[in-house]
Amino acid sequence: MVTGRRVGVLALQGDFREHLGVLAGLGVDAVPVRRARELDDVAGLVIPGGESTVMDKLSRAFGLRDPLRQRIAAGMPVYGTCAGLIMLADRVLDALPDQQTLGGLDVTVRRNAFGNQLDSFETDLAVVGFDGPPVHAAFIRAPIVEQLGPAAEAIATVDGGRVVAVQQGNLLGTSFHPEITGETRFHERFLSRL
């Protein structure tokens, strides 16, 4: 899949290099985004996994938070994995007192819902709208979607209905890390919205 439009990966912290690699493998012109002026040059954005509290603080320190919120509200396609899903959520349970999100995704998420680093696991998931084999998903200190607002749609679940992938318009979020398991269909779905 090749797109003629440049895509950004938020490169403040986390596994942004892995997302840049996946996008390059799909033939996409993908660039790291660390400053507001770099955000102006992209048609869509991936927010990687990492530490949501650190990403929040750095997005404010680098003057990115408000421009990101404006672009999300204006309809820019965004895909968030793990901490990226937390950053897109309108509501966060177990957040630090001063933690803020970018918002846009009408969900409530719980940070580290599956436990700590030692509780990381992999499993196969059926995903709404994906043909072919199940998605092999890696969960690392992953959040869970506790509640969906009326605009958000669950597209994958684990453990009897716990939501781990969601979409809403141009926004896509996963609790897990397809960028480290060789799974490209979520990135392709994100790119189809450009």
Cα–Cα dist 15/48, whole Å: 6
Cβ contact 17:48 at 8 Å: no
Active site residue 188: no
Q: Which one is catalytic: 177, 183, 187, 188? A: 177
Active site residue 82: yes
Please report where in the chains the tokens 């404006």 appear, as a residue. Answer: 70
Q: Which one is catalytic: 18, 19, 82, 187? A: 82
Q: How far is CA 187 from the centre of its chain?
A: 10
Active site residue 177: yes
Please report where in the chains the tokens 């398991």 appear, as a residue. Answer: 181
Q: Which one is catalytic: 18, 19, 179, 187? A: 179
Sign of the torsion formed by the C-alpha atoms of 189, 119, 49 and 99: positive
Q: Residues with Cβ < 8 Å from 53, sequence gap 6 or more? A: 95, 96, 99
Active-site residues, by number, are 82, 177, 179
